[in-house]
Amino acid sequence: MKTLVVYFSATGTTKAAAERLAKEKNADLYEIVPEQPYTAADLDWTNKQSRSTIEMKDKSSRPAIKGRCANIADYDTVWIGFPVWWYTAPTIVNTFIEAHDLSGKVLNVFATSGGSNVTGSANDLKKAYPQYTWGESRLMN
């Protein structure tokens, strides 16, 4: 079985968690890179006009990403990681999922958060993508 750790990291915290997980699982790493990088102002959740707030208020938001994981078919297990935003996965994670065929794979979720757990985020993804096989979820602060 071949494992891939996919992650989106706005500030570097989730990247560090992804690197630890990849080492633990002897997995390859793939970073979800936004076409337009997030600035500190974009990430200001207290500002109702910040980019992240606007994206998270619109559940259909799909921020553009750079590239695709060309060899996704090579993996049996995919861990998808992100910082928890507004109690769920950032919408850029949906962009990644919708841009790739993840059929036949076991999808696991890991997240970083300053105060939320991973359960709500994982359940939201399972509900949004019931066609996929979902495995475990882990909070990795």
Question: Considering the domain boundaries, does residue 58 fall inside one?
Answer: no
Nearest to 126 by CA among 108, 138, 113, 140: 108
CATH for 98: 3.40.50.360
- Residues 57-103: pLDDT tens digits? 999 999 999 999 999 999 999 999 999 999 999 999 999 999 999 99
Domain that holds residue 13: 3-33+65-139
- Residues 4-47: pLDDT tens digits? 999 999 889 999 999 999 999 999 999 999 999 999 999 998 99
Question: Considering the domain boundaries, does residue 43 fall inside one?
Answer: no
- Helix, strand or coil, per DSSP, at residue 10: coil
Cα-based distances in Å from 126 to 98, 133, 137 = 13, 8, 11
Question: Considering the domain boundaries, does residue 124 fall inside one?
Answer: yes
User: pLDDT-derived band of residue 135, with 50, 70 and 90 as boundaries?
Assistant: very high
Number of domains present in the structure of the chain: 1
